[in-house]
Structure 1
Amino acid sequence: MASLNLPISAESLASLTSLVVDYTGGDSRLGRRVRLGAAFTLVALALRIVASGRPKRSAVQRDLRKVGKVVGEAESEDNFDEYDVVIVGGGTAGCVLASRLSENRDLRVLLLEAGDSAVKDPLVRIPSAFTLMLGTAKVFNLFTTLQQNTGGRRHFWPRAKMLGGCSSINALIFHYGDPADYDEWARLGGEGAETWAYKDFHKYFLKFEKFVPSKAHPQVVANEHGVNGPIEVGFHGNHAANTQRFIDACSRAGIPRLADLNTPRGSLGVAKVLTYIDSRGRRVTTESAYLTPAVLSRPNLKVAVGATATRLIFDTTGPSPRAVGVEFASFKHSARFRVRAKKEVILAYILMLSGVGPEAHLAEHKIPVVAPLSGVGEHLMDHPVVNVAVAETTGTSLNFLKSKTTWHQIQRAYAYLIYYLTGKGPLTTNVAEAAAFFRSTDPVLFPPNAAVPPAPTEDSTSGPHAPDLEFFVSPMAFNGNTSHRPTSLGNILLKSSDPFEHPAINPNYISTEHDLAVLERGMSVLTRVMYTSPLADVIDHTAADVRLGHWLPTAKPTELRTYVRNYLETLYHPTSTARMAPLSDGGVVDAQLKVHGVRGLRVVDASIFPTIVSGHTAGPTIAVAEKASDMILQDLAASGRLA
């Protein structure tokens, strides 16, 4: 029996204790017993963690005076701490870059992150616990502007404020996307973008993967996966009985059954998802995988946390501006610090705040223009999702993980004990345990003359065998119907020149008839799956609660359309606001991820996607960072700037 060692902070222990012992029936005898049992479990967990010791993380620096110089205190404007490469943002991509670039001991690398380390946080490492961080200071709790096509609602857009970024708070689905997505990138990316085609880019997925085979899934071809990378992936995690029923029902409804959604053959089909969960039941993030104690002990790497970048510093004396440094601070009214970058600045945001963006928008906020780039902040793409909840009759759902009843509290405490002892059980659910990808024009699912919503008038897929729809199933009360090739485009703009003010986010959801038609087609298949055995056998079709989706199979077209608008949410996959494309097409970066018209500056994250992938975005973002690291090192070596 293997126990679980998770480093834990006092704050995180308090959060975890609150999760287990809240809502236990007040001062009743049963409530006191539940609290006592939960407390013993948590104390044992904490003692085990303390006894195991904490890893030394010498490169993580919270005193910003040991990282840069305070603006105004330097002896001259040029007297600042100097690094070869400064990476702005320690998110999903930033941790990869810091680790890979610092492998070259001749490069001094600084990583700036606004949040803190999350490697000691059980709310991060326990797969199902990430939702408890939403609304807290560990997350940028962003909201969209009012969306006129979704009933005038604002949509919650959480972004992780911690090392590892959104790899620390996502649903842990490991997915490449479709091979045709990257061939499309090669077509859209401009001169030199042919290396982004799947046949070349695929190696970067293999580079970061450490695939662990499963005896329960023997049909997966292991040699189609990477085995030596830092990120452990596999079929670890909960597999609810209703998850398997969903897979079987999709197969009977006409969606092919697959062993693996991540192969050169594409992802059209239904399968249990691979997860970013390791063999001990812990979430794998880019911080835990790439910023290991060994990496953080490198003398040429420094990681500054609690460091919000406020603007880039440019040298404008040459033929084109050159990024030469970064200014940052702990919070809005704290001292500003500066560092100089000898070779490159790599970032995920703050272009507009630094004067790189649409001229009129910068002028509106009195920001001096360094480089006029109309595409910055534009072409925002996101995956919309329509959730459908149904009542099931087996009593095996995992709703007790979020319920407030006394009985569910007892179940939750027991689940924590199982997790502590074995690293298994309900707490290892990734929330979306299985997925099905298909096309809205599939003749098997949409036969001629069938009573289904009209087909979209255009094909938004990246290829003839690529999907534009996805289902996923959750053991916690909903099925999701996702449009994976939306045509609606939005933008992200500044509200002011204050770097601590959240931006104005307008995804412009379902602003095209195409997107609404695709989602309606998806809903028709989803309701068909709900009424297909064996899933249909465990659904309470008599449930009358209007918030549930049991009435949808008989809904009128106008009712279905209204439901889509009223229940649409985000799948948290924003991309393409600094997309790789020619300048003439509104692109922000070239095929080397260099910002058009600015020297020494690259963007590396999901914002560079030329167009959104037809799948989940964490894996592609990590692969982008792996490729970017290679390109940067090759460029520095070719120019003689690397020893």
Structure 2
Amino acid sequence: MGSSYSKTYVSDPTVFATKVDVDASATQKKEDALKEYTSYDYIIIGAGAAGCVLASRLSEDPNVTVLLIEAGGGHEAQLFSRIPIAFSKIFRTAADWTYFTTPQSNMSNRSLYWPRGKMVGGSTSINAMMYQHCSPSDFDEWAKLGAKGWGYKDMAPFFRKTEKFTPHVLYPDVKPEERGDSGLWQTTYSHCMPICTKFIEAAKEVGVPYNPDINTPRGSLGVTKFVTFIDTKGQRSSAATAYLPPSVIGRPNLTIAIETITTKVLFDLISSTPRAIGVELSKNEISARFRASARREVIISAGAVNTPQLLNLSGIGAKEDLKRFGIAVVQDLPAVGKNLFDHLACAVTFRAKAGTSLDYMAHPIKSLFAVVQWLVAGTGPATSNVGEAALFVRGTDTSIPLTSKGSVEETSSKVIDTTSGTDAPDLELICAPMAFLDHGLKQPPPGSNCLTIAPTHLRPLSVGNITLANASPFQKPLIDANYFADPNDIEVMALGVRLALRIARASSLQPMLSLPSTSKTAYDSQNDDIFWPGDADPDTIPDAELEKWIRDHAETLYHPIGTARIGTDEQTSVVGPDLKVHGVDGLRVVDASVFPSQISGHPTATVISVAEKAVEVILKT
């Protein structure tokens, strides 16, 4: 095969598994399974953020064999994954699961689009590249909820371990000694437009303190320029590029199977405790079935949507639900698919002056110079993360003018404090130097220059679920996010929108914006105006119209978690603190689905750190 690095992904199941009769039993004695099927020490399902880490770390031992299974394809040929600003061009392609929620009754009955990565690297290969540790109290809350060993003091070393941070001359207040410098995953400061720098100044002007580094034990409150997982060459540093470079893929003890669906986990049910002994695989609904066995463990890292689906298909879940679909019950765990939390964001679009935005990057001709600059030097506007700056505040903070309707104290006291601690936020406002409409799939009117400020509710009370549509592994599961079921959630989101309007009217931003001389107050849902409520007056905008606009326009920020949560109670959790599925041997879950509660920021760094910590747990137990 030439170079030891020449091995690549495999898509032919006959290479990595054993063909079986489709009617073969899903359970059998362990010794028979190990004898009959192609076997590995570890089988990892899902090559997303966590799966890439696990495969890389576990295969470091040359005496251990690892099979990593990915439903999508490789990432190398995905140019738009490499170019930071172009990530939304991957949406609704073959590299995206292209999920939709069920109609959301509290959001004008809309079915919301959920992009999820269907390629090596998972959503780290298709989403924006915000790098954030979130709040220390988020993880201390996990420990209080039953995730012993997952508090902040336990997680902090793994945040440092994962990261290779490159300091930037423009941000001297960041202390390199507080950041990781020897990890596999590259982080740094990428392109920032002057209008986003002015956003930071405007936020400070209205009372939001500056926070030079939101990734320290001091937490994330304040306004900041985002650190990104973009490397020094101006390219995305995904879980795939960081943890599965050619040198790792070339390991003889690691097999990476792509374009392969895991249809179920196989179990030995002869013993009193079920034991995972392997997996069943297929290319598609009509092709042959294949099996591979696991001598040590099966690890599910398929994400907050696919993990509960696969658990249910394998007979692990609420017994009433499984029986309804004719699925034999292996373990009755009613919490599978429950505890679904997500972050919603509302893109408030403002009129920017010519030359201040990056909207021209959507034009194939106008963006040509910037693309060439990226190709040649790895610099310039194409390295923008889109979300370039952000602020994090508490909805109950009376020192910040979240609204001017009535007294600030009176209005803020109406919302419930859902934060994980006194130094943790429940609101984020993301700043992007362009329009970001319908996940970047919709363009503003020709010639527009836009600034987007997107309020995001970080600690919602509304909880949803993932359930099976039927017993087919090729049918997408039902996603009911149950958005805005709790009225507090929309109250907090409305505070965020009003704060966005006030920041846009601060003197620091005014020279770069073109706000109308007469503010609009009426929201016309029939004739959608992308500049409403950006043109509205924060002092007079009616509550009812603002809430109607939020229900009509809020979209996911791509952060679903919790559907196989860590805990000690088998009625309310799915895995224990060791990430082993309750009541089942040889089966763990490692991905965002194990989060006990929603964190107050962007989850990618947490998922990768959870996976790094999980490797340590796996090797010790």
TM-score, length-normalised on structure 2?
0.90
Q: Is the 8 A contact 1:55 1:293 kept in 2?
A: no
**How many positions carry a matched residue from both structures?**
574
* CA–CA distance in structure 2, aligned partners of residues 364 and 432 of structure 1: 44
- Of the structure 1 ranges 87-96 and 119-128, higher mean CA displacement relative to structure 2 is found in 119-128
**Structure 2 residue aligned with 1:144, among 95, 101, 110?**
101
* CA–CA distance in structure 2, aligned partners of residues 200 and 135 of structure 1: 38
* CA–CA distance in structure 2, aligned partners of residues 450 and 240 of structure 1: 32
Deviation at 1:172, TM superposition (A): 0.2
- Counterpart residue number, 1:550: 535
Q: Is the 8 A contact 2:392 2:426 kept in 1?
A: yes
- Counterpart residue number, 1:577: 563
Deviation at 1:154, TM superposition (A): 0.7
* CA–CA distance in structure 1, aligned partners of residues 415 and 454 of structure 2: 24
Deviation at 1:437, TM superposition (A): 0.4
Q: Is the 8 A contact 1:454 1:517 kept in 2?
A: no
* CA–CA distance in structure 1, aligned partners of residues 455 and 78 of structure 2: 31
Q: Confirm whether residue 329 of structure 1 aligns to residue 282 of structure 2.
A: yes
- Of the structure 1 ranges 335-344 and 528-537, higher mean CA displacement relative to structure 2 is found in 528-537
- Counterpart residue number, 2:589: 603
- Counterpart residue number, 2:620: 634
Deviation at 1:450, TM superposition (A): 3.2
For residues 88-167 of structure 1, the aligned pairs below 5 Å read 88-167=45-124
One-letter code of the match for 1:527?
L
Cα RMSD after superposing both structures: 2.0
Q: 1:453 to 1:113 in 2, by over 3 A?
A: same
For residues 298-337 of structure 1, the aligned pairs below 5 Å read 298-337=251-290
* CA–CA distance in structure 1, aligned partners of residues 503 and 320 of structure 2: 50
* CA–CA distance in structure 2, aligned partners of residues 128 and 541 of structure 1: 26
Deviation at 1:456, TM superposition (A): 4.1
- Counterpart residue number, 1:15: none
After superposition, what is the alpha-carbon deviation per residue over 1:341-370, rounded to whole angstroms, capped at 9, x for unaligned? Answer: 011000032100100001111111111110
Q: Is the 8 A contact 2:54 2:615 kept in 1?
A: yes
Q: Is the 8 A contact 1:85 1:343 kept in 2?
A: yes
Deviation at 1:132, TM superposition (A): 1.1
* CA–CA distance in structure 1, aligned partners of residues 76 and 620 of structure 2: 31
After superposition, what is the alpha-carbon deviation per residue over 1:532-590, rounded to whole angstroms, capped at 9, x for unaligned? Answer: 12113322111878321211523111111112211111101000000001225510000
> Secondary structure of the residue that 1:150 maps to in structure 2?
coil
After superposition, what is the alpha-carbon deviation per residue over 1:407-455, rounded to whole angstroms, capped at 9, x for unaligned? Answer: x443211111111121111111111000100000112115992397453
Structure 1 segments of 4+ aligned residues over 3 angstroms from their partners? 53-57, 450-457, 543-546
**Structure 2 residue aligned with 1:69, among 18, 43, 50?**
18
Q: Structure 2 regions of 5+ residues with no counterpart?
A: 25-31, 302-306, 436-451, 521-527
- Counterpart residue number, 2:384: 429
Deviation at 1:163, TM superposition (A): 0.5
After superposition, what is the alpha-carbon deviation per residue over 1:589-641, rounded to whole angstroms, capped at 9, x for unaligned? Answer: 00001100111100000000000100101000000000001110111xxxxxx
* CA–CA distance in structure 1, aligned partners of residues 566 and 414 of structure 2: 27
Q: 1:247 to 1:68 in 2, by over 3 A?
A: same
One-letter code of the match for 1:232?
Q
- Counterpart residue number, 2:44: 87
* CA–CA distance in structure 2, aligned partners of residues 241 and 452 of structure 1: 36
Q: Is the 8 A contact 1:575 1:606 kept in 2?
A: yes
- Of the structure 1 ranges 54-63 and 367-376, higher mean CA displacement relative to structure 2 is found in 54-63
Q: 1:324 to 1:552 in 2, by over 3 A?
A: farther
For residues 20-59 of structure 1, the aligned pairs below 5 Å read 56-59=5-8
- Counterpart residue number, 1:461: 419
Q: Confirm whether residue 201 of structure 1 aligns to residue 155 of structure 2.
A: yes
- Counterpart residue number, 1:281: 234
Q: Confirm whether residue 234 of structure 1 aligns to residue 188 of structure 2.
A: yes
> Secondary structure of the residue that 2:493 maps to in structure 1?
helix
- Counterpart residue number, 1:564: 550
Q: Is the 8 A contact 1:86 1:341 kept in 2?
A: yes
- Counterpart residue number, 1:173: 130
- Counterpart residue number, 2:501: 527
Task: Decide which structure has greater helix share.
Answer: 1
> Secondary structure of the residue that 1:528 maps to in structure 2?
helix
Q: Confirm whether residue 345 of structure 1 aligns to residue 298 of structure 2.
A: yes
* CA–CA distance in structure 1, aligned partners of residues 415 and 3 of structure 2: 57
One-letter code of the match for 1:455?
S
For residues 451-490 of structure 1, the aligned pairs below 5 Å read 453-477=411-435, 478-490=452-464
Q: 1:114 to 1:490 in 2, by over 3 A?
A: same
Q: 1:304 to 1:352 in 2, by over 3 A?
A: same
Identity of matched residues, %: 41
**Structure 2 residue aligned with 1:268, among 217, 221, 231?**
221
* CA–CA distance in structure 2, aligned partners of residues 108 and 59 of structure 1: 16
Q: Is the 8 A contact 2:206 2:401 kept in 1?
A: no
* CA–CA distance in structure 2, aligned partners of residues 552 and 122 of structure 1: 42
* CA–CA distance in structure 2, aligned partners of residues 54 and 565 of structure 1: 56
After superposition, what is the alpha-carbon deviation per residue over 1:265-300, rounded to whole angstroms, capped at 9, x for unaligned? Answer: 000001100001001100001111111111122221
* CA–CA distance in structure 2, aligned partners of residues 81 and 105 of structure 1: 18
Q: Confirm whether residue 439 of structure 1 aligns to residue 394 of structure 2.
A: yes
One-letter code of the match for 1:611?
S
- Counterpart residue number, 1:619: 605
- Counterpart residue number, 1:536: 510
- Counterpart residue number, 1:35: none
Q: Is the 8 A contact 1:60 1:302 kept in 2?
A: yes
> Secondary structure of the residue that 2:365 maps to in structure 1?
helix
* CA–CA distance in structure 2, aligned partners of residues 561 and 288 of structure 1: 41
- Counterpart residue number, 2:332: 372
One-letter code of the match for 2:535?
H
Q: Confirm whether residue 243 of structure 1 aligns to residue 196 of structure 2.
A: yes
Q: 1:255 to 1:628 in 2, by over 3 A?
A: same
- Counterpart residue number, 1:388: 348
* CA–CA distance in structure 1, aligned partners of residues 16 and 393 of structure 2: 49
* CA–CA distance in structure 2, aligned partners of residues 446 and 123 of structure 1: 39
* CA–CA distance in structure 1, aligned partners of residues 313 and 501 of structure 2: 46
TM-score, length-normalised on structure 1?
0.87
* CA–CA distance in structure 1, aligned partners of residues 264 and 328 of structure 2: 12
One-letter code of the match for 2:313?
L
One-letter code of the match for 2:341?
M
After superposition, what is the alpha-carbon deviation per residue over 1:457-514, rounded to whole angstroms, capped at 9, x for unaligned? Answer: 5321100110000001111122100000011000000001110111100000111011
Q: Is the 8 A contact 1:90 1:162 kept in 2?
A: yes
